[in-house]
Structure 1
Amino acid sequence: MNTYPNCLRKWWMFACIAMFPLHLCAQDDDDRNITIREMKQRYEFITGDKDNPVKVRENAHTVYRCNEYRGAVRVAEFYDDKSTIDDIRIYVNNEKAKYIKPEYRYYEVEDFFFSDMHVATFVLPLEKKGTESYFDLVRTTHDPRYLTSVYFHEGYYQDLKEIAFAVPRWMHVDIKEMNFAGFQVKKTVEYDKKTDADIYVYTMTNLPARADESMSRGPSYIYPHLLVCSKYAAPKTGRVNFFNSVDDLYAWYHSLVQTIGNDATTIKPLAQSITKNASTDIDKIKAVYNWVQENIRYIAFEDGIAGFRPAKAQEVLQKKYGDCKGMANLTKELLKSLGYDARLCWIGTNHIAYDYSIPSLSVDNHMICGVKHEGKLYFLDATESYIGFNKYAERIQGRQVMVEDGDKYFIERIPLATSEQNAEYEKRVLRIDGNDLAGITEHRYTGESTEFLLTQIHGIKKEKLQDALQSYLSEGKTQCAINNLQTSSLHDWNNDLTMKYDVQYKNAITGFGNDLYLELDFRKEMNDLNIDTTKRKTDLLFSFKRKLVHETELQLPDELKVSELPKGMKVSRDNYDFSVSYEVKANKILYRKELIIKNTHLPKTAFGQWNDDVKLLAKNYLQQISFTKK
């Protein structure tokens, strides 16, 4: 049940690479052909220039070892407009490999691009068993604000990982040790009199390769790492303030948005056109929000690295695409032009373990718009293309949000929703027609269930839409025929999405003589969601809370009677509920299935119970209703 929208999958891909910048691919835990014998990273805070008074110089030394057979490593080192790669020296079999030249280019993922993200990439060969290749890297971060976190785990098994910081006494840095519980981390702190600096060294040994698993929590929840919070510097040239408090963080954000350069004269005519048919304030706000959702393409994700200034609203409008910042800014400016109290809001999605108690750029990775109307603050995330007004995606629910308020700010929380927000109802009224079942089916989708379906639908060419919908509803089964399909508007996601159609299930009934048999559930959702506990390394995270209800009313003909009815099942856990029931009432069989994901986070400790319950559900699906001819 991979229900991540395409945009979210790409965001996840980029976020993993940003957190673990050394390797594009992670190693299978059983694959030890290539390992890292040692990786040493040293970060030194140094004085800079007028524009960048403090810089961070990183020196990294990484040695790969070939343990079995010839191979190669694709190395990718990232940088942006706030950092530079100053030198890469590559060695194969202890000899400098001048013939290997790193390629420096923009980083791209399909048609999603990152305007401030570059990559230096090369292939490091390991020629045979027992050989080693390594490279030395020098990278400079020109503003210490942008050095936010350093992780221990890499894409390959490591014999040794060492992370060191050289912090001169004039530099005030808070190095937070995150997720150290359960890991053996050796730490030393020494004073270097010559440089008047404190040297912090963290060492770990025998580190397995990180697990890049789908439906997983963000790395900041899972892996040991060091969160680097640069507070301020006090060199001889004078004090330089960074993020000594969350107030400083907001002041920096606010200084950036003050220099955007929006052009209200371009925006207001469009806002008036969008809302010309709306009569109430709420209808006008909805119209603006929905217009941005439908007409501006979301093209980029930036996971707290660089580029915190939103694009000009008129530029996003002209290009018809933007990242989260650009879309939030355009939404704000459209609403402001109509006289509404709209604000920019900074937020960290549930991919991030931190909150605004930490003054760091790693706290948030997303921007949305807030609008205050009649004392209530509504949040508008236009990157969620098909979610309705005043409904919020799981990835931001319950999260702290920093709301601009002129020179000040305030912290709110996005409202939490239950599984009721994201419901999917299916009601079938069927009759027996020979060996077939025939009748009428109705569907209703809400919240993120609607968004997931509309995301799939709007990715299909219009002329193929009907065929695609029918294939989706029949799950591609040739024995299921769908006709007379009617839907509510596919462009109105403020209301529930509904569908109604005639359905025929061919050869649904099997039999021998006077005994007939029927499996009434043709969808069997979640029956294959067994978790391989021998391979899964991390907790599982469902994309959103969900409530799925299927009801079937089967009219019995006079010549048949029920001889055996499945018993059904019911389980209720902290994270989910499963229930299936059958009932004979008058001359009808009533079938009801309810599957609820109440909490998206399923910890590893719950995997065994989950597998048992999924197995029970799958077994229940296979039960048949038995009929006897009178």
Structure 2
Amino acid sequence: MKDNCLLSGIMLNLLTKPGELCNRHTVQQSTQLPMKVKLLFLMLILLIAVTVTSAKDVFYPVSEIAANLLTDANSVVRTSETTLEIFSKTKIRYSIKEVITIFNENGEGEGVLLIPYDSNSEVDIKVANFYDKEGNLIKKVKKSEVYDQTMFDGFSMYTDGRFKRITPQISTYPYTVEYECTIEQKGAIDFYNWMPCDAYNKSIVFASYKILDYEDEGIRIKPNKLVNTVKNGELVDGVKTYLWELENMEAMEHEPLAVSMVNFVPRVVVAPLNFEFYGTKGSMDSWKAFGDWVYSLIEDRNDLPEDRVQFLKELTASVDDPVEKIKLVYELLQKNTRYVSIQLGIGGFQPFPAQKVEEVGYGDCKALTNYMKSMLQSIGIESYYTLVKAGTNTGEIDVDFPSQNFNHVILTVPVESDTIFLECTSQFSPFGFQGSFTSERSALLIDKNNSRLIQTKNYGLNENTWKMKASILVNESGNAVVKDTVVFNGLQYEYIERDLRKTHEDIIEDAYKTSNIPGANYRTIAYENRPERIPSATRTRLLEVDRFATKMGDRMFVPVNSLNKHSSVPKKASDRKFPFKTRLSYQDEDCVTFVIPEGYEIEYLPEPVKIETEFGVYQSELKHSQNSIVYTRRNLKNRGVFPPEKYADYVEFTRKIVEADSQKMILKKK
């Protein structure tokens, strides 16, 4: 439409002299024009009118998207314009315009508008339109049609959080959504971090992020090298202005074992230098300064009733070992409390007082951690409230850029020669075991005037182990009876942790659902749990397997590894672009004894296999002993981040393991 309007203006200027468009004398002169010129003029006016009329309801036709931006794209961002206006520490406004074209069901999530808000913010959705492939308006969403609901999820007992949502109900692709909205906040502990490409198979025509700092309140900014900085704090009409833009970014396909996207897409991280939030004041000048603010939220919230203090002292009086005292109190916490999320006002950051948890018996990660801290304090053991970014693929916090990038709280308890980390929200976690949820990452330990970053527990090769012993009795028909015992340690314990709380019937039912042993009939499965700081559990199974071995004439083909078989190879990618990550260091050790069926002898045993790389080590071997064959296998994997040029080597390493695990020995009738 801009081009049509511009065209109209150019044509009118060609028919009049400069400055005479509204001059009466010029109009009078025009009546003296020859008839041919008059007809030409009328034709041009009609042409302009038809052009403008035919285009007035056409917006964002798909035909305007460049071909290179359609490749591998489930969605295309036509324009994304975000403006952050900082009027003061207690008045902030975001203005957002998003136009996105959706090409298939895999891109539908990009077309959903979802805006969270609470008592500290207001949302106004000004425009919500849907267009078809040609750019014709399909629907204009009314404000009464916007879905507005509480964030209550069945677990959060206290929350003032709500969200506004618009979900297009369109089944014909492609279609385009257009949204414009504003969000006003009465202060913020963090600002919007700009990462316009936040999903795979999503391309971008144009995106921008503008910050207007009216009062020069002081903001901290860290753009990565991929960002085009247009303005970097210059004064524009007296306002300190920042502007970043991104144009014509092609869609990226997901690569196997990918590291977090934040490591390789354009991104700008923004945080306040000083802030005011729900009547509190804080600073992010350093991790210590931010920690001081968090400390102010938990200070003086650790009082417990005198009878509870006396009970705790009596409970631990006869125990000399501090670790055992901590364990006793932790088990008490697990027995007497349960997790409930609290997201009410500053309650999203400030815990309930310990006495409140004592009264009601529940709390969120903040409240339960503070309660545990208070109980330990009552028996003379110092511990520290600790913020962490939890999850298995959330990306590390930027240790050089203090910001509120945490989503969970745990308790850090130093002892003489060690540090214990306690997950206070679980009624079942083994004492001192973090698991993959919070281990092996930076965390912010909150200490009065001395808050600092620390590293949580690292679980290595010697802790994340699987050790299996098994016997397999194959009969003349090729069926087998299998008995195996596996000890799971460390992070491998997480694979069976939920089974420890199931009934035997449920365990058997789930075994059939997840079985990777064709023809298996599970008779018994039993567990023995040892919930220590490096937890361990033993699983014992008895199963019968139909057609375990394949018979062909006088020969029987027996798989060497059916109980712990590596069966998948990562997808090849000769043009891999980004680093890849192996997420767990572990080692598996297997020892399986095959009993040779009566009347058979060995015709062929696979050769020993040994593979050594920087990714790990694999060894397997078969040995004949009287009427049995002993198969041993050792598989070690190293955790790490590797450059893209080494991906082909990793694929080959994995392929060789799969090949070795898929081998068969041949038995022949005597």
Could you tell me the TM-score, scaled by structure 2's length? 0.74
Paired letter, 2:404: L
- CA distance 1:425–1:315, shift in 2 (3 Å): farther
Give yes or no for contact 2:77–2:203 (8 Å, CA) kept in 1. yes
Residues 63-104 of structure 1: per-residue CA shift (max 9 Å, x gap)? 235789999932111224543324533345689643663222
Query: For the residues of structure 1 that align with 2:609 and 2:419, how far apart are their CA atoms?
Result: 43
Q: Which residue of 1 aligns with 2:112?
A: 74
Asked if 1:509 corresponds to 2:545, the answer is no
Q: Which residue of 1 aligns with 2:528?
A: 488
Q: Which residue of 2 aligns with 1:413?
A: 455
Q: Give the alignment of 1:447-596 within 5 angstroms.
A: 447-458=490-501, 460=502, 462=503, 464-465=505-506, 467-468=508-509, 471=512, 475=516, 477-483=518-524, 485-489=525-529, 495-531=535-571, 533=573, 541=581, 544-556=584-596, 559-585=599-625, 587-596=627-636
Give yes or no for contact 1:141–1:147 (8 Å, CA) kept in 2. no
Q: Which residue of 2 aligns with 1:60?
A: 96
Query: For the residues of structure 2 that align with 1:225 and 1:201, how far apart are their CA atoms?
Result: 13
Q: Which residue of 2 aligns with 1:627?
A: 667
Asked if 1:175 corresponds to 2:221, the answer is yes
Deviation at 1:369, TM superposition (A): 0.6
Query: For the residues of structure 2 that align with 1:534 and 1:85, how far apart are their CA atoms?
Result: 47
- CA distance 1:493–1:277, shift in 2 (3 Å): farther
What SS class does the counterpart of residue 445 from structure 1 fall into?
A: strand
Paired letter, 2:633: K
Query: For the residues of structure 2 that align with 1:599 and 1:68, how far apart are their CA atoms?
Result: 36
Deviation at 1:60, TM superposition (A): 1.0
Deviation at 1:177, TM superposition (A): 0.7
Larger mean CA deviation between 547-556 and 485-494 belongs to 485-494
Larger mean CA deviation between 54-63 and 347-356 belongs to 347-356
Asked if 1:153 corresponds to 2:191, the answer is no
Query: For the residues of structure 2 that align with 1:277 and 1:466, how far apart are their CA atoms?
Result: 40
Q: Which residue of 2 aligns with 1:250?
A: 291
Query: For the residues of structure 1 that align with 2:448 and 2:103, how far apart are their CA atoms?
Result: 59
Asked if 1:615 corresponds to 2:655, the answer is yes
What SS class does the counterpart of residue 179 from structure 2 fall into?
A: strand
Q: Which residue of 1 aligns with 2:22?
A: none
Query: For the residues of structure 2 that align with 1:589 and 1:128, how far apart are their CA atoms?
Result: 61
- CA distance 1:290–1:543, shift in 2 (3 Å): farther
Query: For the residues of structure 2 that align with 1:463 and 1:486, how far apart are their CA atoms?
Result: 8
- CA distance 1:535–1:324, shift in 2 (3 Å): farther
Residues 6-27 of structure 1: per-residue CA shift (max 9 Å, x gap)? xxxxxxxxxxxxxxxxxxxxxx
Q: Give the alignment of 1:212-231 within 5 angstroms.
A: 217-231=259-273
- CA distance 1:212–1:85, shift in 2 (3 Å): farther
Highest Rg: 1 or 2? 2
Deviation at 1:443, TM superposition (A): 1.4
Aligned residues: 583
Give yes or no for contact 2:87–2:215 (8 Å, CA) kept in 1. no
Query: For the residues of structure 2 that align with 1:576 and 1:40, how far apart are their CA atoms?
Result: 46
Query: For the residues of structure 1 that align with 2:123 and 2:254, how far apart are their CA atoms?
Result: 26
Alignment RMSD: 4.2
- CA distance 1:403–1:186, shift in 2 (3 Å): closer
Q: Give the alignment of 1:188-587 within 5 angstroms.
A: 188-189=231-232, 191-192=234-235, 194=237, 196-208=238-250, 217-232=259-274, 242-258=283-299, 260=301, 262-265=303-306, 267-268=308-309, 271=312, 280-292=321-333, 296-298=337-339, 307-316=348-357, 321-349=362-390, 351-362=394-405, 364-374=406-416, 376-383=418-425, 388-434=430-476, 435-438=478-481, 440-458=483-501, 460=502, 462=503, 464-465=505-506, 467-468=508-509, 471=512, 475=516, 477-483=518-524, 485-489=525-529, 495-531=535-571, 533=573, 541=581, 544-556=584-596, 559-585=599-625, 587=627
- CA distance 1:283–1:106, shift in 2 (3 Å): same
Deviation at 1:165, TM superposition (A): 1.0
Q: Which residue of 1 aligns with 2:62?
A: none
Sequence identity (%): 15
Query: For the residues of structure 1 that align with 2:526 and 2:169, how far apart are their CA atoms?
Result: 58
Q: Which runs of 5+ in 1 are unaligned?
A: 1-27, 48-52, 235-239
Query: For the residues of structure 1 that align with 2:663 and 2:639, how far apart are their CA atoms?
Result: 29
What SS class does the counterpart of residue 562 from structure 2 fall into?
A: coil
Deviation at 1:427, TM superposition (A): 0.5
- CA distance 1:32–1:499, shift in 2 (3 Å): closer
Deviation at 1:368, TM superposition (A): 0.9
Residues 192-243 of structure 1: per-residue CA shift (max 9 Å, x gap)? 353x322111110123567789975444334322111321489xxxxx8632
Give yes or no for contact 2:159–2:342 (8 Å, CA) kept in 1. no
Query: For the residues of structure 1 that align with 2:360 and 2:259, how far apart are their CA atoms?
Result: 33
Query: For the residues of structure 2 that align with 1:401 and 1:86, how far apart are their CA atoms?
Result: 36
Give yes or no for contact 1:524–1:618 (8 Å, CA) kept in 2. no
